[in-house]
Amino acid sequence: MNEVLFFKTFVLVGGMLVITSIAARINKAYETTLESILTIGGTFLTLFIVWNQADVFPNNLYALAAFSFCIGWSMGPTITMFGESFKFRKYRQKLGLKSKTVQMKKSFWGGDENKKTVYFYVDSPEKTYEADSQEMIQVYNRFKQEVLTQDHDPYSQKWQNNVFFALVATTLSVFMTAGIVYFSETDFGFLGSFLFFFILAFVILRLFKAYVIKDSSFSMIQTIGGIVLFTFYLIYDFNRLEKAMARGDESWGTAVDLAVNIYLDIINLFLLILEALSESN
Q: What is the C-alpha separation between 86 and 84, in angstroms, rounded?
A: 5
- Residue 281 is predicted with a pLDDT of 60
User: Domain range spanning residue 176?
Assistant: 4-279
- Residue 257 is predicted with a pLDDT of 96
Q: What is the C-alpha separation between 101 and 59, in angstroms, rounded?
A: 51
Q: Based on the structure, what is the number of domains in the chain?
A: 1
Q: What is the C-alpha separation between 262 and 257, in angstroms, rounded?
A: 9
- Residue 215 is predicted with a pLDDT of 64
Count of helix runs (H) and strand runs (E) in the chain: 8, 3
- Residue 111 is predicted with a pLDDT of 47
CA angle centred on 158, ends 28 and 79, rounded to 5°? 25
- Residue 152 is predicted with a pLDDT of 76
Do you find a cis peptide bond into 58, omega within 30 degrees of 0? yes
- Residue 109 is predicted with a pLDDT of 47
Q: What is the C-alpha separation between 175 and 57, in angstroms, rounded?
A: 29
Predicted structure pTM score: 0.89
Q: What is the C-alpha separation between 260 and 113, in angstroms, rounded?
A: 40
Q: What is the C-alpha separation between 59 and 116, in angstroms, rounded?
A: 49
pLDDT truncated to tens, each residue of the chain (281 aa)?
A: 568 999 999 999 999 999 999 999 999 999 999 999 999 999 999 999 999 999 999 999 999 999 999 999 999 999 999 999 999 999 999 999 988 777 665 555 444 456 677 889 998 888 888 888 898 999 999 999 888 887 778 889 999 999 999 999 999 999 999 999 999 989 999 998 899 999 999 888 888 776 666 666 778 888 999 999 999 999 999 999 999 999 999 999 999 999 999 999 999 999 999 999 988 76
Residue 252 CB coordination number (10 Å): 20
Which conformational region is residue 53 in: left (phi greater than 0), alpha (psi within -120 to 50 degrees), or beta? alpha
